[in-house]
Amino acid sequence: MKKRESLLTIGLVGPFGSGKSTLTKIIEEQGFSSVRLSQFIEEEIKKKNIQGDNKRKILQDVGNSLRKQYGADILTKRALELAVRNHASLLVIDGIRNVGEIEYLKKNSTCFIVGITSDVKARYKRLQNVQGRQSTSFVEFVRFESRERGKGQRQNGQQAAKCWEMRDFEIINDTSVAALGEKTVSLVALLKKNQMRVILLGPPGAGKSTQGKLLSQQFNLPWISVGELLREAYKHGLPAGVEWWERYGSKGVNAPISLKFGLLEKKMNESKKGYVLDDFPRTREDLEALKEHILRTRSSIDRVILIDVTEKISIRRILKRWTTNSKRGAARYDDSPYILKIRIREGYKRELPLVKEYFRKDNLLVEIDGNGRKTIHDVNREIIQAIIRGKT
């Protein structure tokens, strides 16, 4: 199936009793069609006339069998095929339990994974209160949940724990249905609008470009990097690129706004939906140019994310990149040890504190700790949560 960027899908993950069905209904009220992946398993059970008292175990076993026979993505594949037949542009999918299902959705639609959870005892109580549900002891409940999370399961089995790790957003369902509704409506409004302007700042090696490209893919927005624009201009022999490299880039110092803003503004104006702006503004001069652009275009910035790492980690990461790329003959000259120290001094220590303070006063700045053992996905999730808080 060719990727359908116009099809917005929200996939729900979370443990038993967390409120996925309630969440589905709330999202339906925002104009979404809905699909339960278990409905395709139920069709298989009915077709094969499979009988038994333990319905949940039968669902798990038949679901595992389908994934083993047709591939881990078979259920989400059928869900998207159904959405296409029904001409749906907004789809919420309940019952995702395998990593392959998420990977298929991400590959074939504009997809966001929403995780919902709550305390285990509260979840057990919810399930027991559902009308018509067979009585299950707490011990049985925990055993089913352990199996669903992936304990003792093969690649085509239940992988709820791994799916949870792939969530883009997290909702804690610990109060009322009304509170859950408020959280969900705000989130869905952001995803449906799919329009924003975000700035990523931070020292070299903080992961700005990695996160910028990831956000670009997730929200279908252009990733705009001043450094990348200048390097491309130099690579193609454009006057601005040549001047930048000879006078500034090769020395590790910031280029004047007169040299770089023409390239940057052209890209910013090309996307009416917004953009992810990487490593700009860094200086007072950059900031003034951006403020003038915002006034002139009557636009706004939704969130400024500063991914912060220590100088020690910054140097270690960039030198590792430089060493690795040098072996392949693809190293960036400005990653070299001498130039790197200048970049940190010029681009991060000297004027960025002023830029940070400006955005902090406007309540746009969120600082994220990029040190430690956080994965790329951990940092991405923090950024998205910060964007939601800024848009609602």
* Interval 133-173: pLDDT, tens: 555 777 777 776 666 665 655 666 678 888 998 998 888 88
* Euclidean distance between CA atoms 238 and 16, whole angstroms: 58
For residue 186, what pLDDT is reported? 81
Q: Same domain, yes or no, for 203 and 186?
A: no
The closest alpha carbon to 230, from 199, 262, 270, 200, belongs to 262
* Euclidean distance between CA atoms 270 and 194, whole angstroms: 16
* Euclidean distance between CA atoms 104 and 82, whole angstroms: 15
Please count the other Cβ atoms lying within 10 Å of the Cβ belonging to residue 13. 28
For residue 57, what pLDDT is reported? 84
For residue 362, what pLDDT is reported? 92
Q: Same domain, yes or no, for 148 and 251?
A: no
Q: Which residues contact 168 (CB under 8 A, 6 or more apart)?
A: 112, 113, 114, 218, 380, 381, 384
* Euclidean distance between CA atoms 261 and 286, whole angstroms: 8
Q: In the β-sheet with 365-369, what is the strand arrangement from edge to edge?
A: 223-225, 274-278, 196-201, 303-308, 365-369
Q: Same domain, yes or no, for 62 and 142?
A: yes
For residue 321, what pLDDT is reported? 72
Q: Same domain, yes or no, for 200 and 176?
A: no
pTM above 0.85, yes or no: no
DSSP 8-state assignment for residue 348: I
Please count the other Cβ atoms lying within 10 Å of the Cβ belonging to residue 324. 11
Q: Which residues contact 159 (CB under 8 A, 6 or more apart)?
A: 97, 98, 99, 149, 150, 153
Residue whose structure tokens are 């990695």: 210
**Which amino acid appears at position 198 of this protein?**
V
- Residue 281: cis peptide before it, omega within 30 degrees of 0: yes
Q: Same domain, yes or no, for 246 and 365?
A: yes
Q: Same domain, yes or no, for 84 and 31?
A: yes
Which residue among 131, 162, 193 closes a domain? 193
**Which amino acid appears at position 6 of this protein?**
S
Percent of the chain surpassing pLDDT 70:
85
Query: Which sign, positive or negative, has the C-alpha torsion 128, 132, 137, 140?
Result: negative
Q: In terms of residue numbers, what domain contains 270? A: 196-391
State the angle between helix axes of 74-85 and 55-70 in degrees (0 to 180), rounded to the nearest 10: 90
Q: Which residues contact 342 (CB under 8 A, 6 or more apart)?
A: 251, 252, 253
Which residue among 164, 193, 222 closes a domain? 193
For residue 2, what pLDDT is reported? 64
Q: Same domain, yes or no, for 116 and 182?
A: yes
The domain that holds 13 is classified in CATH as 3.40.50.300
Mean per-residue pLDDT pooled into runs of 10, the chain (392 residues): 80 89 95 95 92 84 92 96 94 94 94 89 75 62 66 69 88 87 86 86 88 88 93 92 89 87 93 91 93 94 92 77 64 58 65 90 93 85 81 48
- How far is residue 386 from each of residues 6, 9, 52, 307, measured CA to CA in Å? 25, 21, 47, 12
Which residue among 176, 193, 210 closes a domain? 193
Collapsed DSSP state (helix, strand, coil) of residue 374? coil
* Euclidean distance between CA atoms 119 and 239, whole angstroms: 61
State the angle between helix axes of 226-235 and 239-247 in degrees (0 to 180), rounded to the nearest 10: 110
Are 16 and 127 in contact by the 8 Å Cβ rule? The answer is yes
pLDDT 10s digits, 117-127: 888 777 777 77
Calculate the average pLDDT of the chain: 85
Are 197 and 232 in contact by the 8 Å Cβ rule? The answer is no
Q: Same domain, yes or no, for 347 and 247?
A: yes
Torsion angle of C-alpha atoms 309, 312, 315, 320, degrees rounded to 10:
-100
Q: Same domain, yes or no, for 214 and 140?
A: no
Are 117 and 170 in contact by the 8 Å Cβ rule? The answer is yes
Q: Same domain, yes or no, for 309 and 356?
A: yes
Q: Same domain, yes or no, for 120 and 184?
A: yes
Q: How many domains does the chain have?
A: 2
The closest alpha carbon to 286, from 308, 256, 262, 265, belongs to 256
Strands (E), 286-381: 303-308, 365-369
Residue whose structure tokens are 């693809």: 330
Percent of the chain surpassing pLDDT 90:
48
Q: Same domain, yes or no, for 177 and 252?
A: no
The closest alpha carbon to 277, from 319, 225, 235, belongs to 225
